[in-house]
Structure 1
Amino acid sequence: MKLVHQINLAFGIALVLVLSVTGIIIHYVLLDHLIGAQKNDLKAMSAEMTATMQQGYTAMSSVAVKDYALAVPIAPSNLSVNAILTDSTGSILSVSPSTPYSISSFTSVGTNNMAKLQTATVKSIQNGTAKDFITVDNVTPQGKLTLYTPLSKINTIEQALLKRLLIIFSTAGLVMLILSLFITKKFIEPLIQLRDELNKVKERRFADVSFVKAGGEIGSVAKSVFDMAGELNRFNHVQKQFFQNASHELKTPLMSISGYAEGIRDGVFEGEGVRKGLDVIMSESARLKKLVTEMTLLAKLDSEEDVFKTEEICLQDLLTETVERMNPLLVKKGITLHTMYADIEPVKLRADRDKLLQALLNVVSNAVRYAKHHIYIHAEIQNMHIVIRISDDGPGISETLLPYLFHRFVKGKDGESGLGLAISRAIVERSGGLIQAGNERGGGAVISLDFPAVPET
C-alpha cells in the first residue's frame, strides 16, 4: 500500500474513533444535563404545588383531609408531569395524570384514573425504584407529594439533539478528511520527488540530481540527498581523474625503463652509456616503487580501518623527531629551520604516530622544495586544540592551484608524484584533525594543521 493511502487510512480510522468516543461522551453528558434540568423543573413545580396545597389546607381546616386531599394543583399536560399524594402512613391518597391546573382535575383513589395505574407501579415510582421515571418528593400538609415524568421524553429530546450534533460532527469530519487528503498530498509529493532523485543516485547519475524544495525534516533530508549527490559526483570525478593521472604517472617511468632496457638489449648503448642507462632504470624503478607504495597507502587510508592505529602522542616529541629527520635534506639545500614550540606546556594528541610523522615529513619536505632560505614550524594551543603552522619564504602557492592542493596527483612546479599532500590530508583527517593551505601576506606558503588536544587526566 502506498504511503499516501496508509496515512489517509490511518487518519480516517483515527477520525472515526475520535468521533465515536466523542458521540458516546456527549450522549451521557447531554442525558445527564437534561435529567438534571428536568429534576430542577420538577423541584420548582413541587414547591409551587406545595405552597398552593398549604393555602388550601389553611382555608379548608374544618374539612377532613380525605375530603380535600384531592385539591392538588397540577402542571400543564404538555409537560407530561404526574403527581402522587400519599399520607403519613404511605397510603396513596391521590394520583394525578397530566391535566391542567385545577382542583377538579384530581381523582381520588378508587376512581377510573386510579384504576389505570396499578398500585405496585405507583409505589415503585414513588419509592424511586422505577428506572423509567424521574421523580421528586416534597412534604405537604397532607403527607408527601411525589412528582414524576417519564424518562422516555428526555431520551427523545436527547436523541434528537445528539443526531443533530452527530450530523454536524460528521460534516466537520468529512471536511477534515478532504482537507487531510489535500495536506497529505502536499506532504507526500516532495517524498515522491525525493524518491525519483534517489533513483538517479542509484543509477549513478549524480550530476542530474536536482534539489527538492520542501520544509521541515523533509527539506533537511532533501538537502542532504542533494549534497550527497554533489559529493558523490565530485568523488566520481576525482576517481576517474585519479585513474587517468595514475596511469600517466605510472606510464612515464615504465616507458623510461622499457626504452633503456631495449636500448641496452639491442646494443644501442655501449660503454658508459650502458651504465647511465642502468642508472636511469634503477632511478625510475625506485620512483615507480615509491609511487605504487604511496598509491597503496592512500587507498588503505581511504578504505581500511585497521591500517590506522591510534595512540596518545606528545606534540613536542613528534615535532622534534620531524626536525631531526629533515636535517640532512635541510643541510643539503642550505635552508634554516626555525621552531617555535618549546615554550608551550607538554600536550598530547591522539593519532597513529608513524602515519602522522609521515604527514608532517611530507608537508615539511614540500616546504623545503620551494623555500629560499627559511622554514618556520610554529605550534600553539587554542581552546584545547593544537595548531601547527609550517611556513616558508618561497614564492607561495598559485591561486589557481590552491583549491586543489590536497587532491591526488595535483602538483605544482617541480613537484614529484602529487600524492604527498593528499596522503598528509588523509592522515590528518583520520586523526580527527584539519589541514589547510594558504599564503603569507609577505609571500611564501603556509600549511596549518589543527588537532583536538587530549584532555589532562
Structure 2
Amino acid sequence: MKWNSIVFKWGATIFILLISVLLPLIFTIDRLFYKSYLSEAHYQINQLAAQYSDSLSRLEDIETLQTAASLTKTEICIIDREGRIIFTSNDKLFHQGTLIERELLEAAYSKKDVQIEYHNPTNNHNYFVSGKPLYLSTKEDAGLLVFSDAEHIKKSVHDIELLLLVSMLGALCLALGFTYIASKKLASPLLQMEKVTRDVAKGKFYKKVNISSNDEVGSLASAINDLGQELERYRNRQTEFFANVSHDLRTPISYIKGYIQVIQDKLYKDEKEKDLYLSIVLDEANQLNALITDLFELSKIEGGQFDLHFNWINIHDLIENCLIKVALKAKESEIILQKELDDNIPFIYTDGVRLEQIMMNLLENAIRYNRLNGHVKVKGWVGKKKVHLLIEDTGVGIPEEDLPYIFERFYKVDKSRSNRIGSTGLGLSIVKHLVLRLEGEIKVKSTLNKGTTFNIALPFNIRVGFKGN
C-alpha cells in the first residue's frame, strides 16, 4: 500500500475517528455503575431488614424500631397477615391501621430477598423497599418492611453520572478536534473538487481542479477536469440543438393557432378565403411534421451529417407562399408587403423546405423589427449563375458595430429591444447555417433607424422547360 494512497489516508482518518468509541464505552460504564450502585443500595437495605428481623425476634419489642429508623435514616413498618399496619416509624408514610398494597404485603412475607421500588402517593416520594417475615412468640405472625429514600440514592448516582458526562464531553471535544484537523487535511482536495463540480454544474466549465498529487485523488481531479471539457462540448451541441428545435417548432404552431382562430371566429370573407386559410393550416401542419422528423438531422449540423432533400423549386411559388403566410402578421402590424421578382428566374435545385424556412425567418424578423406603416419588400433576380433573393425592410435597423455578430447563436443586438420584442437570438444563426448548407451566401446591410437588407445568393442549374412565372 502506498503511503500517499487514498486508502491509507482514509484508513488513518477512520483510526482517529475510533475515539468515538468512547461514547458507547462511557455509556456502558455509566449503566454498569448505575446498576451496581443500586444493587449495593438494595443489599444494604436487605441487610438492615435482616438485622431488624433478628433483633425483634430476640427482644420482642417493636418500639425500639423508632430509634433504629432514626439512626439509619430509614422508615420501618410492621404489618399483620392481612396487610394492616401494626407499627410505623413515620405517620407521613403510612398511618397505623392502614392496609398496604398487595405488592408490599408479598414482599414482607417472602422468604427470598425482594428488591422493589415503591412510590408513596401520600408524600409523593420514591422508596427502595426490602421485606422480611417476623417470628414473634415463635410464630410467623408479622412482616417487616424497610423503606429507604430512593431520591437520596439517585441523587448520588446523578452526581457521579454528571462527572462521567463531563469526562465524556472532554473526550468528545478532544476527539472532535483531532477529527477536524485530520479530516480537513484529507478532505481539502475533495472539497475543492466539490466546489469545481458545482461550478461545472452551473455551466462554468472553465473551472479546473488543481492536481497536487499522483494518487487516486489526483487521478480523480484529472477526471473531473476532463469531464468539464467534455460537458462544455456537449452543452454547446445540445444548446444549439434544442434552441433550433424550439425556434423552428414555434413558428408553424403559431400560424396554425392564428388561422384556426380566424376560422373559428369566422373572420373570413367567403368560403374561398376560408379554404385558403385551411390550406395554410394544412401546410403548416405538414411543415411542423417535417420539422419534427428533422430533429435528429438538426443535431448533426455541427458534425456535417445534416441531410438535405433537394428538388426542383419554383422560386415564384415559394415566395408567394411565404408572403401569404406572413400576411396576417403584417396586417396586424400595419406593414405593407411588396414583391418584385424577375420573370426569368429559373427553377433551382435546392431544399425547398429549408429555403422556405430561411425566407420565413427573414420575413418574420423584417415584420417584427419594423415600424407602423412600414414596408417589407422581397426582390428576386438572376446574376452570375445565381438566384439573388433580397428582403428589405424599413425597420429599426442594426448598429454597425453589431453587424459582424448578428449571425452568432444567441447574439442579441440590443437587450432592451430583445426584451420588448421577445427575440431569442437564434433565427439568424439558423438562417446563416442553412444558407451555407445550400451552398449559398448571405450578406446584410443596415442603417440604424432606416432599415435592414438581407441578400441571399443561391446557385442554380438551368433545366430546359423550367421557367419562372
* TM-score using structure 1 length: 0.35
More helix by share: 1
* TM-score using structure 2 length: 0.34
